[in-house]
Amino acid sequence: MDDTFEVEIADKSGHSVVQMTQEQIAEKAQAAPGTWVFVNDQLVSTADVAEMNIDAGSRIRLMP
């Protein structure tokens, strides 16, 4: 079973919090051009999300 992470996703109405695997995070980030991905308040490249080492408890935010 893949580890899941709590992910905040910003949208027009505010934000939602969902559980996602690292693969799902990478897919969502790459599906919408211009999405910003922050891991522990550090901006990371959407291309790097799938391969990076994300620790349990990391704060992950997607800003489409």
Complete domains list, the chain, with CATH: 4-63 (3.10.20.30)
DSSP 52: S
pLDDT in tens, 3-53: 999 999 998 889 999 999 999 999 999 998 899 999 999 999 999 999 999
pTM across the whole model: 0.88
What are 60's two structure tokens? 């992950």
> CB count, 10 Å around CB of 53?
7
Give me the pLDDT at residue 43, please: 97
Which helix (H) or strand (E) covers residue 50, if one does?
none
Which helix (H) or strand (E) covers residue 29, if one does?
helix 22-31
Amino acid at 16: S
